[in-house]
């Protein structure tokens, strides 16, 4: 009987996929201790969104978190993190010196293994980043990313077993050093048949290359309810390691539970070498640790729609949490549906960060601003080649639109070498930013500025935002039930006073004011106004301002949070000048003047949440 090893993803991908990576380190340390006591010796603990999230939402330093985790588990546990090729753990792709600094710092702060992937499966993006991991003395796990294609797609090679194995052959031809190989399906949409065929052929390729001892690891998500089937196909084809999680961070958008997989292996030639009673105890501790965190319902549900519009578990809840922040969660079904076209016309890059975020941002823009009216920065640069080669050629019409809107020409140059030429990337630029802000010059601070950009700099200057969603906070926002009314005097009093109601018609909410009329007559409706979805607890929308007489209203083109106010009242502006920058879905949107004139009103402040169409400025 073959013992299948596993990595426990609870403390990185579990957090990212189920609660959008928003969890405070001290809250889960007891669960991590319990996992180690239960015999789990391989833990995923950082990278991915769990590098930025501590800075953005938890008020803590990710490096401090890594140090505490290593101190907690001791020296012998394999601590693994996730890196996105030349993005490493950044919001955007990085220069060579930052890529090398990533490996150096993660080794310094207790990491032993780095899983290194590129969403486009462009081996150039794995080359330098992988060598940095290897040369800094870490275990390098090279990755080939998987995704299932929706029916009727124009190109089926891009995500076939042959495509994946051709990518492996290229990795070997380039002599990229690695200690293990992972096949990563972040959306949980690759069919078991393709998983099995891919791993079977990959095992043959590795054996022929003299790498018989190289472990193969399989990673998927349960979003589409196929994960156990995929893992069975993987181990039957020769996989040695699978990724599992513990409740409450298992299932749904996360990985299968350790105990579920242990049970599924009964009666087969495979087993997990665990003591189920100890795992049960660890899961009880974990559930207690996480009991104060709000678990989004979509994170624990099967979502077959992702097979038609592939969306990773980690991106699904991260995006729904951000949509809650921006009061636009009601748009989520439309955005998911719009992703299919975005994936196909964008060249079939694997739906995993950062490409999945580019897909979601473009689909969000298509829904909120009209199909292809705005090409978002990330998606546009992707189809133009600035992040590498897409598996298939993007739609020429989309490439043309991206070039026109972004003012960039298509390129085939190595993205890392392009980044090295960019004066606004790299150690020197980040050092200058620290100096200008009178902040300590450390390698950690340099890396934080490089990978977290403006928000990282704000953190170093003292900002400690708290965006974790707690059960207690959710309960505070619930509408209290009305107390029982006495029929007589209460009815009489209420009938003589104006009333306000929220009425939903065809899925849209309207605010209705009603004035009483003469006895026996129907009440009079005095005002009807459309209203937005109920606000999320994180921030209330900024109040809409009345238009200035004779002025030109400037509306927000989409929901978001005000990142910067770049104009001031009384300032002369010309058509096209930036007034305000809002952020939604990790995407900045400039709001520009539509006419020449003088700014007569700015109706929002930094940090305000705005709705699509809300007036944010007036030009007189």
Q: What is the per-residue pLDDT for 475? A: 66
Q: What is the per-residue pLDDT for 318? A: 73
Is residue 173 within 8 A of residue 186, CB to CB? The reply is: no
Q: What is the per-residue pLDDT for 356? A: 86
Q: In whole angstroms, how far apart are CA 506 and each of 217, 343, 368, 510?
A: 48, 30, 18, 11
For the chain, what is the largest distance between any 2 Cα atoms, rounded to a whole number of angstroms? Answer: 93
Q: In whole angstroms, how far apart are CA 163 and each of 125, 202, 249, 302, 341?
A: 17, 11, 32, 28, 21
Side-chain half-sphere exposure of 384, counting CA atoms within 13 A:
20
**Over residues 214-219, mean pLDDT:** 99
**Over residues 366-372, mean pLDDT:** 93
What residue spans define the domains of the chain? 2-417, 497-536, 552-619
Is residue 318 within 8 A of residue 56, CB to CB? The reply is: no
CA dist., res. 559 & res. 535, Å (int)? 12
CB atoms closer than 10 angstroms to residue 160: 15
**pLDDT-wise least confident of 49-53, 155-159, 291-295, 437-441:** 155-159
**Over residues 120-126, mean pLDDT:** 97
Q: What is the per-residue pLDDT for 583? A: 81
* Phi-psi map region of 125: left, alpha, beta (phi>0 left; psi -120 to 50 alpha): alpha
CA dist., res. 55 & res. 59, Å (int)? 6
Q: What is the mean pLDDT of the chain?
A: 88
What end-to-end distance do the CA atoms of the chain give, in Å?
Answer: 78
Quote the pTM value.
Answer: 0.80
Q: Band of the pLDDT at 476, cuts 50, 70, 90?
A: low
Q: Band of the pLDDT at 520, cuts 50, 70, 90?
A: very low
Is residue 74 within 8 A of residue 434, CB to CB? The reply is: no
Q: In whole angstroms, how far apart are CA 232 and each of 13, 249, 255, 261?
A: 21, 21, 14, 9
Q: What is the per-residue pLDDT for 612? A: 81
Q: What is the per-residue pLDDT for 201? A: 99
Is residue 612 within 8 A of residue 368, CB to CB? The reply is: yes
Residue 486 has pLDDT above 60, yes or no: no
pLDDT digits (tens, 9 = 90+) for 23-64: 999 999 999 999 999 999 999 999 999 999 999 999 999 999
Q: What is the per-residue pLDDT for 615? A: 94
Q: Band of the pLDDT at 264, cuts 50, 70, 90?
A: very high
Q: What is the per-residue pLDDT for 155? A: 72
How would you classify the pairing of strands 2-3 and 270-271? parallel
Q: What is the per-residue pLDDT for 354? A: 86
For residue 564, the Cα-to-chain-centroid distance in whole angstroms is 22
Is residue 9 within 8 A of residue 255, CB to CB? The reply is: yes
CATH (one of 1.20.120.1200, 2.40.50.100, 3.40.309.10, 3.40.640.10) for 552-619:
2.40.50.100
**pLDDT-wise least confident of 54-68, 155-169, 203-217:** 155-169
**Over residues 456-466, mean pLDDT:** 95
Q: Band of the pLDDT at 301, cuts 50, 70, 90?
A: confident
How would you classify the pairing of strands 597-602 and 578-584? unpaired
Q: Tell me which H or E stretch contains 599.
A: strand 597-602
pLDDT digits (tens, 9 = 90+) for 174-184: 999 999 999 99
Residue 134 has pLDDT above 50, yes or no: yes
pLDDT digits (tens, 9 = 90+) for 251-263: 999 999 999 999 9
pLDDT digits (tens, 9 = 90+) for 490-513: 333 333 444 444 444 444 444 445
**pLDDT-wise least confident of 317-321, 375-379, 473-477:** 473-477
CA dist., res. 184 & res. 143, Å (int)? 7
Q: What percent of the chain has pLDDT over 90?
A: 72
pLDDT digits (tens, 9 = 90+) for 573-612: 999 999 999 987 667 788 999 999 999 999 999 888 888 8
Question: In CATH terms, is domain 2-417 a member of 3.20.20.70?
Answer: yes
Q: Band of the pLDDT at 342, cuts 50, 70, 90?
A: very high
Residue 481 has pLDDT above 60, yes or no: no
């Amino acid at each position: 009987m073959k013992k299948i090893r596993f990595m426990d993803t609870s403390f990185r991908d579990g957090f990212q996929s189920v609660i959008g990576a928003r969890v405070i380190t001290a809250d889960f340390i007891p669960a991590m201790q319990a996992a180690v006591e239960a015999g789990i010796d391989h833990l995923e603990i950082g990278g991915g969104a769990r590098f930025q999230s501590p800075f953005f939402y938890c008020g803590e330093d990710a490096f401090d978190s890594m140090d505490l985790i290593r101190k907690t588990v001791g020296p012998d546990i394999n601590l693994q993190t996730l890196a996105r090729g030349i993005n490493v753990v950044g919001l955007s792709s990085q220069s060579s010196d930052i890529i090398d600094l990533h490996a150096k710092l993660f080794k310094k702060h207790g990491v032993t293994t780095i899983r290194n992937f590129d969403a486009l499966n462009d081996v150039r993006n794995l080359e330098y980043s992988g060598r940095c991991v290897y040369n800094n003395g870490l275990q390098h796990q090279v990755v080939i990313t998987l995704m299932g294609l929706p029916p009727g797609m124009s190109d089926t090679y891009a995500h076939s077993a042959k495509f994946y194995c051709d990518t492996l052959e290229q990795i070997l031809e380039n002599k990229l050093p690695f200690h293990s190989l992972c096949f990563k399906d972040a959306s949980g949409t690759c069919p078991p048949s393709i998983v099995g065929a891919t791993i079977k052929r990959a095992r043959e390729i590795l054996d022929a290359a003299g790498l018989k001892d190289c472990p193969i690891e399989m990673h998927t998500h349960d979003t589409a309810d196929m994960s156990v089937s995929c893992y069975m196909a993987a181990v039957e084809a020769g996989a040695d390691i699978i990724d599992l999680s513990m409740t409450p961070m298992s299932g749904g958008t996360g990985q299968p539970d350790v105990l579920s997989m242990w049970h599924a292996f009964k009666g087969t030639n495979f087993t997990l070498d665990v003591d189920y009673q100890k795992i049960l105890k660890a899961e009880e501790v974990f559930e207690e640790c996480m009991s104060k965190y709000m678990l989004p319902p979509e994170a624990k549900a099967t979502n077959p729609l992702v097979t038609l519009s592939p969306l990773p578990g980690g991106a699904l809840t991260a995006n729904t949490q951000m949509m809650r922040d921006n009061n636009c969660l009601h748009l989520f079904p439309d955005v998911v549906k719009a992703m299919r076209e975005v994936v196909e016309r964008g060249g079939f890059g694997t739906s995993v960060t950062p490409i999945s975020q580019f897909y979601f941002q473009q689909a969000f823009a298509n829904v909120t601003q009209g199909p292809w009216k705005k090409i978002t920065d990330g998606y546009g640069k992707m189809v133009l080649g600035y992040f590498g080669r897409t598996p298939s050629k993007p739609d020429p019409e989309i490439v043309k639109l991206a070039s026109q809107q972004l003012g960039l020409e298509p390129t085939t140059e190595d993205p890392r070498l392009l980044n090295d030429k960019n004066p606004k990337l790299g150690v020197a630029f980040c050092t200058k930013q620290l100096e200008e802000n009178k902040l300590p010059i450390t390698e950690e601070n340099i890396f934080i500025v490089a990978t977290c950009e403006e928000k990282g700099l704000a953190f170093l200057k003292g900002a400690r935002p708290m965006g974790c969603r707690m059960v207690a906070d959710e309960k505070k926002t619930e509408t209290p039930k009305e107390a029982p009314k006495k029929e007589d005097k209460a009815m009489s009093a209420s009938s003589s006073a104006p009333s306000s109601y929220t009425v939903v018609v065809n899925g849209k909410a309207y605010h209705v004011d009603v004035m009483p009329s003469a006895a026996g007559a129907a009440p009079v409706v005095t005002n009807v106004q459309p209203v937005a979805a109920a606000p999320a607890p994180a921030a209330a929308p900024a109040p809409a301002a009345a238009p200035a007489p004779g002025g030109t209203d400037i509306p927000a083109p989409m929901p978001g949070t005000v990142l910067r106010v770049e104009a001031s009242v009384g300032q002369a502006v010309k058509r096209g000048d930036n007034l305000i920058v809002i952020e939604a879905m990790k995407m900045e949107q400039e709001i520009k003047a539509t006419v020449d004139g003088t700014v007569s009103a700015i109706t929002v402040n930094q940090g305000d949440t705005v709705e699509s169409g809300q007036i944010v400025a007036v030009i007189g």
